[in-house]
Amino acid sequence: MLSDLLANPWRLWLTLGGALLAAEMLGASGYLLWSGIAAILVSLLVWLVPLPWEWQGLSFALLTVLSALWWYRWLKGRAGRQPQSMLNQRGSQLIGQQLTLDETLVDGFGRVRIGDSDWRVQAAENLPAGTPVTVVGVEGITLQIIRRNG
């Protein structure tokens, strides 16, 4: 079997590429993906144009580095186009929410119930219970609110 792989180096590179991709599926977090793809590309190159071992190794190294750089550049550009995540920032997710005060604000502070949580709220003025308000910002764990017109 080894003599067959050495007689047909494209099979060796194809086998190496398959093994690297299989190892990647076991959880290498992307480290082996580009080496596996590079090995498969070298396999195709050697199948089309027989190359000495030195050039095969150099092609593998060069393709691995180029594919990893391309992937890094693609990810970097993609990250810049995506909106900032608000995961685990529940207060920020509430901006724009329209609420009704459960209790009167004293010195501009009070509490409001949203879903199954109580939130501290702050307004520029004292507002009576039952006033419709809108969340306009978050400062720490305090929701900034204003009176809703209408």
DSSP, collapsed to helix, strand or coil, labels residue 75 as helix
Give the residue extent of every domain in the chain. 2-81, 90-147
Binning pLDDT at 50, 70 and 90, where does residue 42 land? Answer: very high
CA distances from 32 to 28, 37, 42, 64, 65 (A): 6, 9, 15, 10, 12
- Calculate what percentage of the chain has a pLDDT beyond 90: 35
Contact, 109 vs 122, CB < 8 A? Answer: yes
Please tell me the distance from the alpha carbon of residue 105 to that of residue 126, in angstroms, as a whole number: 5
Binning pLDDT at 50, 70 and 90, where does residue 55 land? Answer: very high
The CB-side HSE value for 75 (13 A sphere, CA atoms) comes to: 7
- Asked whether the predicted pLDDT for residue 88 surpasses 70, the reply is no
Contact, 13 vs 56, CB < 8 A? Answer: yes
Looking at residue 84, its pLDDT comes to 64
pLDDT tens, residue by residue, 97-142: 898 888 899 898 988 888 888 889 999 999 998 889 999 998 888 9
Count of all residues that appear for the chain in the document:
150
The CATH architecture annotation of domain 90-147 reads Beta Barrel (2.40)
Q: Residue 119 contacts by C-beta under 8 Å, 6 or more apart in sequence?
A: 91, 94, 111, 112, 113, 141, 142, 143
CA triplet 12, 17, 18: central angle to 5 degrees?
100
pTM of the predicted protein model: 0.52
Please tell me the distance from the alpha carbon of residue 21 to that of residue 71, in angstroms, as a whole number: 16
